[in-house]
Amino acid sequence: MASTSESKADATPTTERPTVIVCVGMAGSGKTTFMRRINSHLHSKGSPPYVINLDPATLEVPFDCNIDIRQSIKYKDVMKHYNLGPNGAIMTSLNLFATKVDQMVGLLEKRAKPDPEHPERKPVKHIIVDTPGQIEVFVWSASGQILLESLASSFPTVLAYIIDTPRTTSTSTFMSNMLYACSILYKTKLPMILVFNKTDVKDASFAKEWMTDYEALREALADDELRAETEGAESGSGYSSSLLSSMSLVLEEFYSHLSVVGVSSRVGTGVAEFFEAVKEKAEEFERDYQPELDRLRTAKEEEKVKKRERELEKMMKGMSVQGGESDLVSKIGSVDVVEDSGDEEYEDEEGGSSALQDRYKAALGGGGDSVEAEASYAKYLHSQRQ
């Protein structure tokens, strides 16, 4: 009993921060209906979630949102202003929204803590995020990566990959879904739960069996191949069967890192099992994913510093600055670094060394943390090389 209590105590830190559940899935998989179901489930448990909608093109959301991208960005106006199609407008809307991701994370962090002004308001335990039905627009875009990384840097983040179960009964469709889920897992580097939705129409036991029993999948492949021959399908089914069989062996390691849950968003079955899987994945995030994300973030920051040092050294050589590097760096560090618009003209002959310092102030404005500072710095380097 003591060991059990100790294990629960060890898991306590994972409950101090709310868990982010990002719902992704193909169009028509029932993703928004699933969002409504888990939202209703959490409300019934007396623990309302913090809800975020990141789909700018949806006409109606069947649940109340705390943050709705549609309130910040008008999808149709983006299409007209930038002369874009539907997918391009969705991506552009996400790009515009991603510029304010720091504000979003700030609001989430505020709601994750007790509010002294409203002590009756409990900190949220779950943050659920609805994403566009065009899954590739979110998962493979720079804005989607920024949003996911920003959430993962502050909270345990779990991906819920929603799958349309009735449309996955074919072995080829099933394997396509698995490959897509695999690519998303390794692209985002976040723990994932496979949610086989619409189990009230088709039970997901066959999919779970295919993931754990290779021989069962082989038999299903043989049945599909026989059916294709009976229906007079074109040649090549044998190659397809061999390829899918090989793929199932390749994905065996991938399956071991997944949680699989069958859910009916319409009826509500399987939702309790889903949140049990979410709890496990949140603990896995804290244990396995968080250290790796911290390591990658630290390496990225160190590389950024080294890159700026290399650019500074290159700039010094190009300008043939007199004096040692340490002397120049000390001069830069001795002045207040401010952001400059770049419209002023510098007169070297009249200003002397002070004008040189002004140039560095303009080039290194903002300390390199803002987009404007980076652009000013790059512009200055470009002008000196011409």
Which of 288, 283, 289 lies closest to 11, judged by CA? 283
Beta bridge partners of 91: none
Instruction: Tell whether 361 is covered by a domain.
Output: no
Coil, strand or helix at 250 = helix
- Cβ atoms 7, 175 nearer than 8 A: no
Q: Can you tell me the distance from the alpha carbon of 361 to that of 56, in angstroms, rounded to the nearest whole number?
A: 40
Q: Can you tell me the distance from the alpha carbon of 50 to that of 33, in angstroms, rounded to the nearest whole number?
A: 17
Instruction: Tell whether 150 is covered by a domain.
Output: yes
Q: Which residues, 6+ apart, have CB-to-CB distance to 48 below 8 Å?
A: 42, 124
Confidence (pLDDT) at 380: 53
Instruction: Tell whether 293 is covered by a domain.
Output: no
Query: pLDDT at residue 185 above 80?
Result: yes
Q: Which domain holds residue 67?
A: 19-213+258-288
Strands (E), the chain: 19-25, 50-53, 67-68, 126-130, 157-164, 192-197, 259-262
Within 10 angstroms of residue 243's Cβ, the number of other Cβ atoms is 13
Which of 205, 196, 213, 207 lies closest to 252, judged by CA? 213
Q: Which residue has the higher pLDDT, 56 or 374?
A: 56
- Cβ atoms 218, 171 nearer than 8 A: no
Q: What is the pLDDT of residues 112-126, one digit of tens each?
A: 988 888 777 889 999
Query: pLDDT at residue 386 above 70?
Result: no
Q: Can you tell me the distance from the alpha carbon of 380 to that of 364, in angstroms, rounded to the nearest whole number?
A: 9
Would you place residue 129 in the very low, low, confident or very high pLDDT band (cuts 50, 70, 90)?
A: very high
Q: Which residues, 6+ apart, have CB-to-CB distance to 374 below 8 Å?
A: 368
Query: pLDDT at residue 367 above 50?
Result: no
Query: pLDDT at residue 12 above 80?
Result: no
Instruction: Tell whether 130 is covered by a domain.
Output: yes
Would you place residue 94 in the very low, low, confident or very high pLDDT band (cuts 50, 70, 90)?
A: very high
- Cβ atoms 192, 54 nearer than 8 A: no
Token reading at 385: 């090389």
Within 10 angstroms of residue 229's Cβ, the number of other Cβ atoms is 12
Query: pLDDT at residue 342 above 60?
Result: no
Provide the mean pLDDT of the chain.
78
Confidence (pLDDT) at 2: 42
Query: pLDDT at residue 218 above 50?
Result: yes
Average pLDDT estimate for 248-263: 83
Which of 381, 302, 297 lies closest to 342, judged by CA? 381
Q: Can you tell me the distance from the alpha carbon of 182 to that of 324, in angstroms, rounded to the nearest whole number?
A: 52
Instruction: Tell whether 125 is covered by a domain.
Output: yes
Q: Can you tell me the distance from the alpha carbon of 188 to that of 178, in angstroms, rounded to the nearest whole number?
A: 15
Instruction: Tell whether 294 is covered by a domain.
Output: no
Q: Can you tell me the distance from the alpha carbon of 379 to that of 386, in angstroms, rounded to the nearest whole number?
A: 11
Instruction: Tell whether 161 is covered by a domain.
Output: yes
What's the total number of domains in the chain?
1
Token reading at 78: 């983006």
Token reading at 9: 């105590």
Instruction: Tell whether 358 is covered by a domain.
Output: no
Question: The domain spanning residue 279 has which CATH number?
Answer: 3.40.50.300
Q: Can you tell me the distance from the alpha carbon of 199 to that of 335, in angstroms, rounded to the nearest whole number?
A: 66
- Cβ atoms 308, 368 nearer than 8 A: yes
Confidence (pLDDT) at 308: 80
Token reading at 113: 């803590």
CA distance readout (Å), 329 to 266, 313, 332, 357: 64, 10, 5, 11
Average pLDDT estimate for 15-44: 91
